[in-house]
Structure 1
Amino acid sequence: MRRRFAPLFWTQSLGAFNDNFLRMVLLLLAWKSVSPRDWELGPIPGLAAAGFILPCLVFSSWGGVLGDRLDKHRLIRRLKLLELAVALGAMVAVWFENAAMLLVFLLLMGWQSALAGPVKYAILPQHLAPTELVSGNAWIGVGTFVALLAGVLLALSMATWPTHWARVAVMLTLVGVASLGLLVSFAVPVAPARDRISENWHPWRSNHEVLRQALREKHLFPAMLGVAIFWFLVTCMLLLLLIWVRDDFAGSGEAFSLLLVAFVLGVGVGSFLCAHFSAGRLEVGLVSLGALLAGAASLYLASLAPVAASAEEFTGLLSSGHFWQMFFGFMLVGIGAGLYSVPLYTLVQMLSREERRARMLGAVNMFNALAVALALVYGGAILAWRDVGLRGAIAGLGLMILVVGIVLLLRRPRPVLRLLVFALVHVFYRLRFRGRHHIPARGPALVVCNHVSFMDALVLGGASPRPLRFLMDQPIYESPWLNWWFRIVGAIPVDSDRRDPGNVRRALSEVSHALRQGEVVMLFPEGRLTPDGEIQGFRRGLDMILARDPVPVVPAGLAGLWGSWTSHHGGRALTKWPRRFRARVALSFGEPLSARQARSPLLERRVRELKADADAWVEARRKSPLAQS
């Protein structure tokens, strides 16, 4: 992954750095002050914000169309050449300290960034495997925010230098970073165009067309809206941070820098935690958890009592608890934002049609620009409406994000439950998975596995990169303690016709409905727990399902759970005391078989082979002196 991804990561990170560095230089130049404590902002900050919003609104669709129709490798190089040209022009503006000219080049840099934005995300699925997408998006997100932080802090630092040296340093930084980004872009792997439609492109009508296509993608629009909410949160937090530092710490640049570091550090931690928890699969449940964490952390920030301090008193505040409570609160908000955003970007990439992916990401950038504009209006309203107060504004923001998290949790509880169950299974077992990429990324499929214990469904459900519907015995399904959970996760109860006439037919109809909706259904063809640890003969229920819906069948082999208290080893399951903790469990998925192959002895043979492979790994790890230690 490193060789395929590193050039793109550094290319986009260097571009994001130059964009934010140039914007901060414009602000400092407009203030005509070397001190970051000057808070008489004037109209220039609004123009600098417009330098981000307007290009994203107008030109993101162009970037999406170009990204779908041109080789993204060549397009990125051309865009980096454009960035270098803009940097050279901005260098002249800095030399003459001309704020108006610098604003023009900031708009041009925004234009270049708007064209590049959809491309950097649309290229990831062409360079990375589906199991690498979450990690790739996490790194891109971290690179973007670290570049934002570095650009702001370096500009603030240079503002304290002697004027002549500061001008030279700014010029060299702009051109040097742009040149380095251009050089790195030549190492980005080839990414051929995916759109083969030979329709004419009308640049001035592209915004309308891209938005119309995005609104028609009903399964994509909620994810796009979720990303826009993320940028609304980020913009509001940065704006309120500026106001807070102005009010509580007399505009201390050191306070602003440290709290900005806390937020960006939190976003990075949240992004990497998302990649870790996802373990190669898309965990949509992290979106709800991230929103809940960000909302709760915002309310915690709002609860902090105000402490008015002069810039000279700020050093003393560093040793007090108030400032570090703020630091911790901003970091928690950032962690929640990172957990929230990474799965949404991945979801847009995975659900977008390949030939329109860049255009859909262009639409995402347009929605993001609108969200940033709304955030600026929100901040302006807070400034105008003094009765609300800063902490009231932060509390209102926290409540909004909490509502988003609660609504997501209530509308889609399965992903969150799956994530929590998988985390719980990781606590009790040391798991090893192989071949999860064999489960199709889209469309219906059956997952067939040997049945060892009552924990099998939880292990399989957590290991799958997609949510699973699973068949289970009717008596267990009707358990008064667990029935609510089985209903939420969509379990399908099945019983014999002798005890419940018509039950098998209803269960098959439910399975058929799930498959026709494009879901993945898991079943144990043995029909019962193994009594001796070996695979029993497959029953005919699988043939009945495939006769109605001939979908791909993914074989799987599970090992390591025989001997647990949830298996029939040494007595009936769940009637013994647990005798081991953190046992090694292996699960191997095989290549999908066609419905015709699955209805032959080949499927049972493949499941036995996969189980033998998993058994061999578990046994080898048990005998390994290193593993035992």
Structure 2
Amino acid sequence: MEDKSQFRLLSERRFLPFFLTQFAGAFNDNLFKNALLLIVTYSAAGLLGMPLNVVTNLAAMLFILPFFLFSGIAGQVADRYEKSSVIRWIKLAEVVIMALAALALWYSWYEVLLLLLFLTGIQSAFFGPVKYAILPQVVKDQELVGGNGLVETGTFIAILLGTLVAGVMMKWPQGQQLVAMAVALLALAGLVSALLIPRAPAAAPDLKVSLHPLRETWKLMAIARENHRVFLGILAISWFWFLGTAYLTQFPNFAKSALLGDETVVTLLLAIFIIGVAAGSIACERLSGHRIELGIVPIGSLGLSLFGVDLYLNMPEQPIPSDWWMILTDAYYRQVAIDLLAIGIFGGLFIVPLYAFVQRETVPDKRARVIAALNVFNSLFMVASALLGILMLGLFGLSIPEFFLVLAVMNLVVSAFVYQQVPEFALRFVIWVLSHTIYRVRHYDLERIPEEGPALLVCNHVSYVDALVIAGAVRRPVRFVMDYQIFSIPLIGSFFRLAKTIPIGPKSKVPDIYEAAFDRIDDELAAGNVVCIFPEGKLTRDGDINTFKSGVDMILQRRPVPVVPMALQGLWGSFFSNRGGPAFRHLPKRFWSKVHLRAGDPVPPEQASMATLEQQVRELRGDQL
């Protein structure tokens, strides 16, 4: 897998028709919405006897309102029925809506266009849940991050193209007629590609669909809160849309007032930001090693704040009139462009692992409803973003660069809260940094670790970072058993508590801790978790494997579970090992060194004797220390 690119999915039927369907839909939505906004702004002032600002905000509300009203029903439908059929019906509805929109555009029936915008919002509200719920069914687990990266890339590129094409077409003679033909053709293209999507069985075929919009939307909130980690992931995704909406909404005013730019500058800033998000989304698969890697999420959030602050600091003090070429060539303006590109890139790194995390951690028979709840939260956060912009820029009188600075600071606060609530984010961040800076970790046969249910891992103990290396390689969360004295070390102790590490010590010295450790181990295994112990009981002082102690036998007597032997290679001689004296006492001499982690076949509990496991770990390690 590590040598295969996510782009190969675009050549396979299980993914390509779905990708083209969602791309055409996103393109069409944005083409239609932006064309309508341009019509309202320049051609239909005074529509329905209302001022321009009122009509503009009414149009925005008509598109968002269906997500509040119909997401509850949409989530049920996507869980209840076979998903490719649901997509086809949704796309057929889009063809009908866009055919009517084409007529309304051709004959300038502007009031009808507002009604059709509302219907487009309904269609989008129904497509959102099935769009993300089908993805785990059409790609493999190790492809989920890459698949999400492609979907997010396609979505943002479609947003960009829809916005640009609407602007270009509406400037041409007979622009409304051109848009009319385009939206109808795109809807047909989406339906044709939807016909080729392979079947994706219903996740909850016995679910009874309720048609009470507001009540079902309220129920979505309860479903989303059933898994606290997933709920916080939903809030984090919605926070990204809060930030993204704030940036995209202010671009026209930002280009005009802060950069003294013309219309080409607005287009360029939009393109730079969206290209950044697309690039970050694509990069996720490579950075995560084809797995759902939550360690990338804190990198994304830190980058969002860092470059948000840098954007404020690099604003020209006395801007001069500019166009798109000056933004790219002038040193001061170019730095603004670089900051916006970086904000987009780190936004992509932030959002893609979160989507994959929510998809993986949600039970299949409720996945579409959880995604529907996510769409509701996204809409709420986008509305809140607009209100905050009005408050900060209007009531408090902040400049747009100052508003961007406030967003960067707010992002740090929100991120700290999420990582405090879900320590796995911070833990994975440390592990990811370790395994991509000091070491190059390669792992072999880790698929031998059971994907579900309890399991006990046993491994040789070479250095103080053994647990971090293992945690970074194993897909499932692992509870490590470690010497209780580590917990007294400042920062390190807090970190391991955050990781739910189990302290243990000699029975002769700390009998209470000793007994409590085995109780905790048994509780974790009873809960179906993976526990890792280092049966040597201490770090090796000569690179060889010490004799295994009897802890494994005691654990298995209380809770017979499969045991997976593992071996670390390449850590002996590192800064964190005891080679050449106690660890941490000598200067680091090795960076980016190769470390290997190997797993053996699971051993049934009745065959997992101390001597047998020690022999298997020795064979796995071989002669490489």
TM-score by length of 2: 0.86
Q: Deviations over 1:168-205 (max 9, x none)?
A: 53233223322222222233232101114354533444
The separation in 1 between residues aligned to 2:494 and 2:87, in whole angstroms, is: 51
Q: 2:41 is matched with which residue: 31, 39, 43?
A: 31
Residues of 1 paired with 2:241 and 2:475: CA distance? 27
Query: What residue identity is the alignment partner of 2:112?
Result: M
**Which residue is equivalent to 2:202?**
193
- Residue type of the partner of 1:98? W
Q: 1:107 aligns with which of 118, 124, 127?
A: 118
Deviations 1:206-242, CA, capped at 9 Å, x for gaps: 3233233334444432222222222111111111222
Q: How does 1:265-284 map to 2 (within 5 A)?
A: 265-284=275-294
- 1:377 aligns to 2:387 (yes or no): yes
Cα deviation for residue 513 of structure 1 reads 4.0
Q: Tell me how many residue pairs correspond in the alignment.
A: 607
1:149 aligned to 2:160? yes
1:353 Cα offset (Å) = 1.7
Whole-angstrom distance in 2 between the partners of 1:9 and 1:606: 46
**What are the within-5 Å matches in structure 2 for residues 2-401 of structure 1?**
2=9, 3=12, 4-32=14-42, 42-161=53-172, 163-164=173-174, 166-199=175-208, 201-204=210-213, 205-248=215-258, 252-303=262-313, 304-305=315-316, 307=318, 309-310=320-321, 316=326, 318-382=328-392, 384-385=394-395, 387-401=397-411
One-letter identity of the residue aligned with 1:426: H
Instruction: Give CA deviations for 1:251-307 in whole Å, capped at 9, x if unaligned.
Output: 722111111112112212332343333223333343333233323333333342465
Match of 2:504 in 1: 494
User: Which of 586-595 and 46-55 deviates more?
Assistant: 586-595
CA shift in 2, pair 1:71/1:591, >3 Å: farther
CA displacement at 1:427 relative to structure 2: 2.8
Cα distance, 1:73 vs structure 2 = 1.4
* Structure 1: 5+ residue stretches without partners: 35-39, 620-629
Shift of 1:482: 4.6
User: Counterpart in 1 of 2:517?
Assistant: 507
> Given that residues 81 and 205 in structure 2 are in contact (C-alpha distance below 8 angstroms), is that contact kept between their aligned partners in structure 1?
no
> Could you tell me whether the CA contact under 8 Å between 2:296 and 2:432 is conserved in 1?
no
Q: CA RMSD in A?
A: 3.4
Question: Bigger shift: 124-133 or 519-528?
Answer: 519-528
What SS does structure 2 have at the residue aligned with 1:401?
A: helix
Matched, 1:428 2:433: no
Cα offset for 1:139? 1.9
1:141/1:595 CA distance change after superposition, 3 Å: farther
8 Å CA contact 2:77–2:209 kept in 1: the answer is no
- Identify if the C-alpha distance between structure 1 residues 188 and 510 changes in structure 2 by more than 3 Å, giving closer, same or farther: same
SS at structure 1 position matched to 2:293: coil
Cα 1:250–1:87 shift into 2, 3 Å: farther
Matching residue's letter, 1:523: I
Which residue of the partner structure matches residue 549 of structure 2? 539
Taking the aligned partners of 1:41 and 1:466, their CA distance within structure 2 comes to 54
Q: 1:527 to 1:138 in 2, by over 3 A?
A: same
**Does the 8 Å contact 2:294/2:428 carry over to 1?**
no
| Contact kept in structure 1, 2:309 and 2:405, CA below 8 Å | yes
What TM-score do you get using the length of structure 1 for normalisation? 0.86
Is the contact made by 1:564 and 1:579 (CA closer than 8 Å) also made in structure 2?
A: yes
Q: Percent identity?
A: 37
Secondary structure, counterpart of 2:53 in structure 1: coil
Q: Distance in 1 between matches of 2:612 and 2:254?
A: 67
Structure 1 pair 593–151 and aligned structure 2 pair: CA distance change class (3 A): farther
Question: Which segment drifts farther, 248-257 or 436-445?
Answer: 436-445
**1:280–1:465 contact (8 Å) kept in structure 2:** no
Contact 1:422 1:459 in 2 (8 A): no
Deviation at 1:533, TM superposition (A): 6.3
Unaligned runs of 5+ in 2: 1-7, 45-50
Choose from 451, 458, 472 the match for 1:448. 458
Paired residue type of 1:394: F
Change (3 A) 1:369 1:592: farther
Check whether the contact 1:135–1:275 (CA below 8 A) recurs between aligned residues: yes
Q: Is the 8 A contact 1:288 1:408 kept in 2?
A: no
Q: C-alpha distance in 1, partners of 2:525/2:34?
A: 53
Alpha-carbon separation, structure 1, partners of 2:343 and 2:505: 48
